[in-house]
Amino acid sequence: MRSNRLGCLSGTGIFAAIVTSLVIAGYVYAQGGLLYNPGALNAQSGEMLGGVTSHAETDGDCQACHTAPWERAKMADRCVDCHGEIARQMQDVASLHGRMMHNSPDITCRHCHPEHRGADAPLTEMDYAEFPHEVVGYSLTGHAVTSTSQPFTCDGCHNGDITTFASDTCSTCHSNLDPVFVLAHSIEYGDACLDCHDGVDRFGKNFVHDAGFALTGSHDGLTCSKCHTGARTLVDFQNTPSDCYSCHLSDDPHLGAFGNNCAACHQVSSWAEVTFDHNLSSFPLTGGHAGLACEQCHVNSQFAGLSTSCVNCHSDPVYHAGMFGTDCASCHSTDNWSAVYRGSHPSIADEGGSGVNHGNTSCRTCHTQTLNSATCLACHDSNNPDDEGGGGEDGQGDDD
């Protein structure tokens, strides 16, 4: 059997519509009619903006401030249409509204500026726990309760005007905790506490650190006390060492073996990224030294105090038989360890006292075992069919 119905106008649909209407009507009644009449607008006069000097002068024109659900514009857009100066501040991160928009983009105008609360109600109102003080360079982390363990209220610091802050407010309150210190501190530094303090640390966001020691890389996120340990006066802060080792001495994993120039290997961007350029040190790595592993010279992880003398690593071999002393560089170079003797070769009695004239012939050609013994037979052997010509640079053959 087929029931007759007109679209959604079935018995069930009609019943649901009636119930919904009754629920809405009951809610409106319970709210005292606020759905249609949310309350009187603020009537405090000020500078003329958008053709009116107060919100009350809009005379019930809801569209002056409110937008329809299907519009792309939001209520905050209506605000800045009239409040042009605030719109400009919102683009400037150095201003209050600019910092708030930059650090807390989800905050809207009505978050701090409520309406429909009466003709004389303030247009700026914010509960202690709601206003993000961090966006104006101050933290309430250490100011949850007063010196008498009572919860802080806005009036406790702002004295009735939330937009102002007296410079001596801090010292007045903190005198209840330590009057002797606060008095001495105020005499030495004045009462402008916010110039150095941000509610958590000394020298907060208002202090320009770049002038003496720019905070970059991993240093950027540190608290003041990490470097200025125990500092209580300006002199203490100024006398804080700026070299790496003074801070990192206590956690030096190298136990001083690398010396105290941390920046030679480490960067502030990442302590784990180590890049050491040996060529910037007092001993550049050239020739055969360039490809060596660190431990071949730095035995037992000793990096500081090593001698740069060749003989420190290359002790006199048996081959030299102690004949050349410790000046390895007189014959050797890092590019070619094969000896090039630059001195006058000792004379040989068998050649009538004259020096050997063999040019750049390798030492080991004649001195096959050690330098205090030699043989000519490697080249000048009468039984050697290749002996003709002698092999020496003088072009003379063997006389035998």
The answer to the question of residue 276 being in a domain is no
Furthest-apart CA pair in the chain: how many Å? 142
Q: What is the pLDDT of residue 28?
A: 57
Q: What is the pLDDT of residue 382?
A: 57
Low-confidence ranges of the chain (pLDDT < 70): 1-9, 27-37, 126-130, 135, 160-163, 201-207, 232-234, 316, 321, 338-344, 346-361, 378, 381-400
Q: What is the pLDDT of residue 82?
A: 92
At residue 59, what are phi and psi to the nearest 5 degrees?
Answer: 55, 45
Residue 60's Cβ-count burial label (10 Å; 0-12, 13-18, 19+) is: exposed
Between the alpha carbon of residue 399 and those of residues 366, 388, 390, the distances in Å are 18, 10, 9
| Boundary (domain end) residue, out of 176, 195, 214 | 195
Count of domains for the chain: 2
Q: What is the pLDDT of residue 72?
A: 87
Q: What is the pLDDT of residue 180?
A: 92
Q: What is the pLDDT of residue 346?
A: 67
The answer to the question of residue 140 being in a domain is yes
Q: What is the pLDDT of residue 343?
A: 63
Q: What is the pLDDT of residue 35?
A: 55
The answer to the question of residue 186 being in a domain is yes
The answer to the question of residue 200 being in a domain is no
The answer to the question of residue 234 being in a domain is no
Query: By residue range, what is the domain housing residue 32?
Result: 11-37
The answer to the question of residue 155 being in a domain is yes
What is the spatial distance between Cα 201 and Cα 326, in angstroms, rounded to a whole number? 60
Q: What is the pLDDT of residue 121?
A: 86
Q: What is the pLDDT of residue 267?
A: 82
The answer to the question of residue 32 being in a domain is yes
What is the spatial distance between Cα 323 and Cα 311, in angstroms, rounded to a whole number? 14
The answer to the question of residue 154 being in a domain is yes
